[in-house]
Amino acid sequence: SQQGEEDPQALSIQEGENATMNCSYKTSINNLQWYRQNSGRGLVHLILIRSNEREKHSGRLRVTLDTSKKSSSLLITASRAADTASYFCATVRGSTLGRLYFGRGTQLTVWP
Amino acid sequence: GAGVSQSPSNKVTEKGKDVELRCDPISGHTALYWYRQSLGQGLEFLIYFQGNSAPDKSGLPSDRFSAERTGGSVSTLTIQRTQQEDSAVYLCASSREGLAGGNEQFFGPGTRLTVL
């Protein structure tokens, strides 16, 4: 069953703009991870944020986590055409460590 | 080093036939996971191995689905008497350890299964 819900479902921006994707979840978590998928195959891990963290950075990526609102956001700054992909948030619950619960994803299109 | 590999990359089969999907995790990764991705259902967890045992197989959709892992390495997902609704991309992932949590999972390229 799905755990998270991302919004928007689709996002279309120009190169150089920032892209913000949001994720909400329903139950308490151990950590939340963001993944990227190109062309329907091969997910790539982007960043992990633990439940006791509020913000994390990795290169052009910035992730925030608000456990009181059960939500997270992924910001990609200065987007590039190569960032075009589907982005998924996934949670790890304390009761079932290991397995990931995925949201339905945001399809990001960055136009050159 | 090599990433997670899966074979075959594509499989077309007829309804009612059995299929076997293979996953080779990253060497040294003790945890292995199977997921499937379909248009209607998104990304669904199927089963999780820690070593050769499967502490969580709650995501297997029916008794037609089974999986095993041998030698703490290669895993095989078997679907018996395939149905059209089994058509999906089957993704395998591995991580250094699963029970402690908080480890990123490395995904293979997937096997696209089409049941005619």
Q: In the predicted model, is pLDDT for residue A85 greater than 60?
A: yes
Which residues in chain A have Cβ-Cβ distances shorter than 8 Å to B104? 33, 45, 48
**Residues A67 and A27 sit within 8 Å (Cβ to Cβ):** no
Say how far apart CA A110 and CA A42 lie, in whole Å: 20
> Who's near A32: CB < 8 A, 6+ residues apart?
A23, A25, A48, A49, A51, A63, A65, A72, A89, A90, A91, A92
Buried b (16+ CB within 10 A) or exposed e, B56-94: beebbeeeebebebeebbebebebeebeeebbbbbbbbb
Q: In the predicted model, is pLDDT for residue A95 greater than 70?
A: no
Q: In the predicted model, is pLDDT for residue A11 greater than 90?
A: yes
Residue B98's pLDDT is what? 58
Q: In the predicted model, is pLDDT for residue A49 greater than 80?
A: yes
Beta strands in B1-116 (DSSP E): 5-7, 10-13, 19-24, 31-38, 42-50, 53-56, 65-69, 75-79, 88-95, 106-107, 111-115
Percent of chain A's residues with pLDDT above 70: 91
**SS3 (DSSP) at A53:** coil
Contact A45 B106 (CB under 8 A): yes
Nearest to B42 among A30, A96, A104 (CB): A104
Contact B98 A44 (CB under 8 A): no
What the block records as the tokens of A72 is 């997270």
Which residues in chain A have Cβ-Cβ distances shorter than 8 Å to B48? 98-99
Task: Using a CB–CB cutoff of 8 Å, tell me whether B106 touches chain A.
Answer: yes
> Who's near A23: CB < 8 A, 6+ residues apart?
A4, A5, A6, A7, A32, A34, A71, A72, A73, A74, A89, A103
Average pLDDT over residues B31-52: 89
Residue A99's pLDDT is what? 82
| Band of pLDDT at residue B100, cut at 50, 70 and 90 | low
Residue B72's pLDDT is what? 86
CA-nearest residue to A43 within chain B is: B107
Task: Using a CB–CB cutoff of 8 Å, tell me whether A96 touches chain B.
Answer: yes
What the block records as the tokens of B44 is 């669904």
Average pLDDT over residues A1-27: 85
Residue A41's pLDDT is what? 72
Mean pLDDT of chain A: 90
Phi-psi region of A89 (alpha: psi -120 to 50; beta: other; left: phi over 0): beta
What digits encode the pLDDT tens for the residues B71-96?
A: 889 999 999 999 999 999 999 999 98
By the 10 Å C-beta count (0-12 exposed, 13-18 middle, 19+ buried), A24 is classed as middle
Which residues in chain B have Cβ-Cβ distances shorter than 8 Å to A94? 101
Residue A110's pLDDT is what? 97
Average pLDDT over residues A6-11: 84
